Amino acid sequence: MGFKEQIDTTRLPEHIAIIMDGNGRWAKNQGKFRVFGHESGVLSVKDIVEGCVDIGIRYLTVYTFSTENWNRPVDEVNALMELLISTINQETETLTKNNIRLNAIGDISSLPQKCIEDLKNAMDKTANNTRCTLTLALSYSAKWEITQAAKKLAQQVKDQKMSIEDINEEHFAAQLNTVNMPDPELMIRTSGEHRISNFLLWQMAYTELYFTETLWPDFRREDLFEAIVDYQKRERRFGKISEQLN
């Protein structure tokens, strides 16, 4: 029996977040340049999106480019930006055909203008799609996101639109980039690293973490299904004891 057949479709995680790690190491293992790994990683993204749609996952967020990634060699950053543009343009029609909405979080204004324009165009074209929301975390930093949220609340207090006493978790979460999404129940990180790496720190307070040695370009939907099966074996207590869940 495959992992897909083991999944209980009545207990699916509504939102899965993925740290797509290992492109560079995969390329090195192939004797190729790092950009070859990134290009191959796009095939994994396509297969994982299709896998999510196939079983009914409503939200998928992929860590596409962090603010720290700007520190990589200029040639690699430029190649990543070109790959992002070409992929968005090539896949927009496919997203629409599959009723998938494209979304983005992060400091989008820091991206090259061409990226911003093509991204906005794709998001506009897919805005009414309802089957699944694919979110790209671009130039994203959770610490940046939390800092921006704090500034927004501080400004509201300064403008006397709310008082300090009014601030609670719900008000804070409403200032985050993910305001219209549920928090992820499952986070997958590939390549054997066991870190969150500044990704959705607030949102992943109760997320189940799944780590695999598989490098991202080798990660396919069967690997996704295996992670979901593992997730469904866990008991999510949220501070309670097992007896309270029955």
Q: Catalytic residue numbers? A: 21, 69
Q: Note whether 31 and 223 are within 8 A (CB).
A: no
C-alpha span between 162 and 9 (Å, rounded): 42
CB-based burial label for 211 (10 Å; 0-12, 13-18, 19+):
middle
Strands 59-66 and 100-105, by their bridges, are unpaired
As a three-state string, the secondary structure of the chain is: CCHHHHCCHHHCCCEEEEECCCHHHHHHHCCCCHHHHHHHHHHHHHHHHHHHHHHCCCEEEEEEEEHHHHHCCHHHHHHHHHHHHHHHHHHHHHHHHCCEEEEEECCHHHCCHHHHHHHHHHHHHHCCCCCEEEEEEEEECHHHHHHHHHHHHHHHHHCCCCCHHHCCHHHHHCCCCCCCCCCCCEEEECCCCCCCCCCCCCCCCCCEEEECCCCHHHCCHHHHHHHHHHHHCCCCCCCCCHHHHC
